[in-house]
Structure 1
Amino acid sequence: MTELHGTVHPSFQPVADAVAAQLRAGTETGLSLAVDLDGEPVVDLWGGHRDAARTQPWHRDSITNVWSITKCVTALAALLLVDAGELDVSAPVARYWPEFAGNGKRDVEVRHLLSHTSGLSGLEAPARLEDLYDVRGAADRLAGQAPWWPPGTASGYHVLTYGPLVGELVHRITGRSLRRFVAEHLAGALRADFQIGLRADDLGRVADVIVPTGDLDVSALDPASVPYKTFTGPPFTAAAANTAPWRAAELGAANGHGNAMSVARLLAPIARAGTGPDGRVLRPGTVGVIFDQQSAGHDLVNGLYLRWGIGFALPDPRTLPWIPAGRIAFWGGWGGSMAVVDLDRRVTISYVMNHMDADILGSPRAAGYVTAIYQCLDRLSAGAPAGSPSR
């Protein structure tokens, strides 16, 4: 029988039961799930296996590629610079990156990059995945492109370009790569086991992603369309995440490696109005910037109905009905991983797994866990008795 490890507050036992049921059913291979409630880790679970053959146990320190949850961390890096007064989300990108003004982008603002509304959702053809591994070169190419739609008018998910776009701003302002900035000012400062670009000595604890049935198929799309150009600029498959070049690269959109607890440690200060375990991480006013809605509508790339704030999606029942209304910021990774930051309840939810579903955003497993967590939170707010962590 597949074992589930960790601790869970008695009030959240239904969450552990939901995870255990998925492991028993075999729909979950390996995972970690964390819930931080106002600084208290009320759920810290991990279990299953790191490999499809189910021969390598998932340990407490196992990590995996978290796909687009990486974008949350990249956005948080930019918000640190906003908080320090070094980056203005309403300023032209060209203020910090003069070359970016070319080809009709003089008026594109920082907020457009952070909210997927810049018109730069892919590299112009021809493009290879290897082109993104050269992060400075990719940034140069994007600086020379014309937008694929009028910036600020709609979102078009920046599937892989989010990293070189936002990362170049971090580099221009600080002189540090995004990889180094995150390591020093986020992962290191918040004691989070998370990295953009995998260190070679951590390879032995990485869980390969288990790719979904089928892959991205753009054959039916109009080659002149935004989604076609995005998913072929460059083309990529889920299996790329298991290759050495992908793991070693600085892909601020998609190759963050971590687990649920590390993601929760990075994002929980947002839920607590900017307060981290050792003091202030962001000012409340900077946290509020996240909720400045930039667009609402069907995304030009992935087709989902999305409300974008600054760096995070905002809840709407047309997006994911199992995320409630309120002052909530969220996003997830391809295949089902999920990060939810709830300021109303001062709670952070993080789910990281290796067995990908076919979903672009969320999955039935993610929905089940998040629903169970909110049911437990509702019971707590109604005055249900609490106890000590168990397991």
Structure 2
Amino acid sequence: MPDHSSTNITVHGTVAAGYEAVRDEFTAVLLAEEHNEPGAQLAVYRTGQQVVDLWAGDGIDGDSLPAVYSSTKGAAHLVVALLVQDGTLDLDRTVASYWPEFAAEGKGALTLRELLGHRAGLVGIEGGFSEADLADDRVIAARLAGQAPFWEPGKEYGYHALVIGALTGEVVRRATGRSVQELFEERVRAPYGLDLYLGQPAELEPRYVPIRPMNPTPEQKAALAARPFDPKGLPAVAFNVPTDLVAWINTPSVRALGPASVGGVGSARALAGMYAATLGEFAGRPALLKPEIRAEFARLGLAGTDRVTEETDHFGLGFERPKEAYPSLGEGAYGHCGAAGSQAFADPASGIAYGYTRRRYAFPGGAAPENERLVAAVVKAATSSPSGG
């Protein structure tokens, strides 16, 4: 299919028959983001077949590897799901039964299920981690094991933005002797041929696309300035304020370590491919997850309000429930967005696996707003094309 061009934007790539409206929507959202120097990738699989593969913008192509921030959590918790499926991990065992040091300061009764639901009360440390420590999951885990929680463990929920992968990863390491990063490479990335890395190899540095800081409009700047912010509150602790997370992720040594909460790099193709591999046969290999495991990890955890973000709980086990943001998805959808605007998920109801990346932080952080339009267009195309395109 030829490039789809406008006055200022050239969209490259292909879409399957029936998905032309997705290409049009991708073009439209990039035109709307011109003030942000757009650069983005969009990939979609349906029942294992790629139906959308698009990219556009400054310095980016289909093989580029942007930082995906918290979309990394989906990769890390896929490893946890596989270990639960294997019987190596038990969701209802206490974290301390795997990791005895974790029991300090009244945390001994917390289960792995509750930890995966962001219910531990260990969103960070007062005073913050150094930038070097923030990149090292082992250091984070050791510091948090001895810390008193910010609320009674298991009773409330709050987004453990920069540390959840270190905490669940330490459980994985204690149970298997291997890191999440090693197991993801061996069980997911390499066998399925995915360009998604929890630890970017040095030789791939030329393919890395540096993340650019947010470029808010005057109206958005005013909205940010009007928000009350407590420099000692839970959001500041959880997001390790005042760390510049753009400069931090653009540091090669951080990406080489690949911290399991936020340190992954990968293409939209790889994000979508990873989720496609959880749904069914992909790349000539069987599905990674059984339907009952997918359903277990997608089920809503603790209903309530997030102590960090003040959002309504939208987590299953380690994964976000994207239906809360995109109503056209099925109840059993699971995935994770990322701070610069990335979004990735699987939707068993429609058979789609979706991956979106962008190179500039989207306002106000988290899944970029254009995902609403893109997801709606993808689902409409998928449900109008029973064969998958």
Match of 1:353 among 343, 348, 358: 358
Question: Partner of 1:330: helix, strand, or coil?
Answer: strand
Q: Amino acid of the residue matched to residue 258 of structure 2?
A: E
TM superposition shift of 1:286? 1.7
Structure 2 counterparts to residues 68-147 of structure 1, below 5 A? 68-147=70-149
Output one character per residue of 1:33-59: Cα deviation in whole Å (capped at 9) or x when no partner.
Answer: 111111111111223223xxxxxxx22
TM superposition shift of 1:160? 0.6
Q: For structure 1, which segment, 73-82 or 307-316, has the greater mean C-alpha deviation from structure 2 after superposition?
A: 307-316
TM superposition shift of 1:344? 1.0
Match of 1:45 among 54, 76, 79: 54
TM superposition shift of 1:217? 8.6
Question: Partner of 1:18: helix, strand, or coil?
Answer: helix
Output one character per residue of 1:98-152: Cα deviation in whole Å (capped at 9) or x when no partner.
Answer: 1111111111111122111111111343532221233222211111111111222
When residues 219 and 352 of structure 1 are mapped into structure 2, their CA distance, relative to the original with a 3 A threshold, is closer
TM superposition shift of 1:224? 5.3
Output one character per residue of 1:207-237: Cα deviation in whole Å (capped at 9) or x when no partner.
Answer: 1111113799999444553223223377443
Correspondence 1:240 to 2:242:
no
Q: For structure 1, which segment, 153-162 or 215-224, has the greater mean C-alpha deviation from structure 2 after superposition?
A: 215-224
Q: TM-score, normalised by structure 1?
A: 0.88
TM superposition shift of 1:16? 0.7
User: Contact 1:128–1:233 (CA<8 Å) still a contact in 2?
Assistant: no
Correspondence 1:281 to 2:276:
no
TM superposition shift of 1:287? 1.7
The separation in 2 between residues aligned to 1:307 and 1:133, in whole angstroms, is 26
Match of 1:306 among 305, 310, 313: 313
Output one character per residue of 1:316-369: Cα deviation in whole Å (capped at 9) or x when no partner.
Answer: 5xx425554522113211132111211111111111111221233322321121
Correspondence 1:32 to 2:32:
no
Correspondence 1:9 to 2:16:
yes
Structure 2 counterparts to residues 212-231 of structure 1, below 5 A? 212-213=214-215, 220-222=228-230, 225-231=233-239
The separation in 1 between residues aligned to 2:325 and 2:30, in whole angstroms, is 23
The separation in 2 between residues aligned to 1:221 and 1:153, in whole angstroms, is 25
Q: For structure 1, which segment, 136-145 or 1-10, has the greater mean C-alpha deviation from structure 2 after superposition?
A: 1-10
Match of 2:299 among 292, 296, 299: 292
Correspondence 1:264 to 2:272:
yes
Q: For structure 1, which segment, 281-290 or 348-357, has the greater mean C-alpha deviation from structure 2 after superposition?
A: 281-290
When residues 233 and 101 of structure 1 are mapped into structure 2, their CA distance, relative to the original with a 3 A threshold, is farther
When residues 73 and 213 of structure 1 are mapped into structure 2, their CA distance, relative to the original with a 3 A threshold, is same
Q: TM-score, normalised by structure 2?
A: 0.88
Match of 1:364 in 2: 369
- Structure 2 unaligned segments of length 5 or more: list them: 1-7
Match of 1:171 in 2: 173
Structure with greater helix share of residues? 2
Q: Amino acid of the residue matched to residue 268 of structure 2?
A: A
The separation in 1 between residues aligned to 2:339 and 2:287, in whole angstroms, is 31
| Aligned-pair identity (%) | 33
The separation in 1 between residues aligned to 2:311 and 2:388, in whole angstroms, is 38
Match of 1:186 in 2: 188
Ranges of 4+ aligned residues in structure 1 off by more than 6 Å: 214-219
The separation in 2 between residues aligned to 1:314 and 1:23, in whole angstroms, is 26
TM superposition shift of 1:157? 0.6
Correspondence 1:204 to 2:206:
yes
Match of 1:55 in 2: none
Tell me the matched-pair count: 374
User: Contact 1:108–1:151 (CA<8 Å) still a contact in 2?
Assistant: yes
Match of 1:161 in 2: 163
Question: Partner of 2:367: helix, strand, or coil?
Answer: coil
The separation in 2 between residues aligned to 1:83 and 1:159, in whole angstroms, is 25
Q: Amino acid of the residue matched to residue 264 of structure 1?
A: A
Q: Amino acid of the residue matched to residue 383 of structure 2?
A: D
User: Contact 2:47–2:388 (CA<8 Å) still a contact in 1?
Assistant: no
Question: Partner of 1:341: helix, strand, or coil?
Answer: strand
Question: Partner of 1:290: helix, strand, or coil?
Answer: helix
Q: Over aligned residue pairs, what C-alpha RMSD do you find?
A: 2.5
TM superposition shift of 1:79? 0.8
Correspondence 1:375 to 2:384:
no
Match of 1:255 among 258, 263, 267: 263
When residues 363 and 60 of structure 1 are mapped into structure 2, their CA distance, relative to the original with a 3 A threshold, is closer
Q: Amino acid of the residue matched to residue 10 of structure 2?
A: E
